[in-house]
Chains A and B, each alone.
Chain A
């Protein structure tokens, strides 16, 4: 079955601490993985995607095919990082359909 799992509903850290939001997936083929973010009172928006291999707002994510994981990391959390984060998978060709995880709320305390 195609599935994305984010085991943490809430992750609370202090400003300056490292952050890791976990994402595991189950998919039989070769999916593309994304992280989307929803800041308070804003739209859901793309944070980063695996194929770009870029760092956005200090966040990085590495695809580990052996562990079927795509964890999101940032070495030093900032208060403005507080948001809801969704890991998503795109596996079906030519439809753009996304399978989302349950979401993790990141709370960065001052």
Chain B
């Protein structure tokens, strides 16, 4: 398996609280991504990073922020969690941003907002 670990793996939090999910990689991949997985929607891109301190928005970025202070770590923060953010969150990495590049995924984090 690729050296991509997500923490925590499971979390239950209350509406209105901030939450941070962490993605750590040992592959030295330049690109990192956060997706959310929801029934009927597949995976949708939240934010991505193309280098240290270089990030950009994805399709469903509202209510989320990210930071990447070093190559290995990509943090996803829910600034004020809402029930609509209950989902499974996947981190992915890729060595390049090329059209044919393979993405490598973490195990996922199941987040429940109550």
Taking beta carbons and an 8 Å cutoff, which residues of A are in contact with B?
A: 4, 6, 9, 31-32, 36, 43-46, 49, 51, 86, 90-91, 93-103
Residues from chain B with Cβ under 8 Å of A90 in the complex? 99-101
Residues from chain B with Cβ under 8 Å of A49 in the complex? 100, 102
Residues from chain B with Cβ under 8 Å of A100 in the complex? 35, 42-44
Q: For residue B56, which residue of chain A has the nearest CB?
A: A95
Question: How far apart are the CA atoms of A98 and B102 in the complex, in Å?
Answer: 10
A96 touches B31 (CB 8 A): yes
A43 touches B42 (CB 8 A): no
Residues from chain A with Cβ under 8 Å of B33 in the complex? 96-98
Known: A86-B42, A102-B41, A103-B42. A96 touches B97 (CB 8 A): yes
Mark contacts of B85-114 with chain A using CB atoms, 8 A cut-off: 1 yes-contact digit, 0 otherwise: 000001010101111111111111000000
Residues from chain A with Cβ under 8 Å of B106 in the complex? 43
Question: How far apart are the CA atoms of A43 and B92 in the complex, in Å?
Answer: 10
Q: For residue A9, which residue of chain B has the nearest CB?
A: B40
Known: A43-B1, A98-B45, A100-B42. A51 touches B100 (CB 8 A): yes
Taking beta carbons and an 8 Å cutoff, which residues of B are in contact with A?
A: 1-2, 31, 33, 35, 40-45, 48, 50, 56, 58, 90, 92, 94, 96-108
Q: For residue B90, which residue of chain A has the nearest CB?
A: A44
What are 30 of the A-B contact pairs (CB < 8 Å)?
Answer: A31-B99, A32-B99, A36-B103, A43-B1, A43-B106, A43-B108, A45-B105, A46-B102, A49-B100, A49-B102, A51-B100, A90-B101, A93-B97, A93-B99, A94-B50, A94-B97, A95-B50, A96-B94, A96-B97, A96-B101, A97-B33, A97-B48, A97-B58, A98-B33, A98-B43, A98-B45, A99-B45, A100-B43, A100-B44, A101-B42
Q: For residue A46, which residue of chain B has the nearest CB?
A: B102
| Max chain B Cβ within 10 angstroms of own Cβ: one of A6, A97, A100 | A97
| CB of A91, distance to nearest CB on chain B (Å) | 8
Contact among A6, A32, A95 with B100 in the assembled complex (CB-CB below 8 Å) = A32
Additional A-B contact list (19), CB under 8 Å, known A94-B97, A95-B48: A32-B99, A36-B103, A43-B2, A44-B92, A45-B105, A46-B102, A46-B103, A90-B99, A94-B50, A94-B98, A95-B97, A96-B48, A97-B48, A97-B58, A98-B45, A98-B103, A100-B43, A100-B44, A102-B40
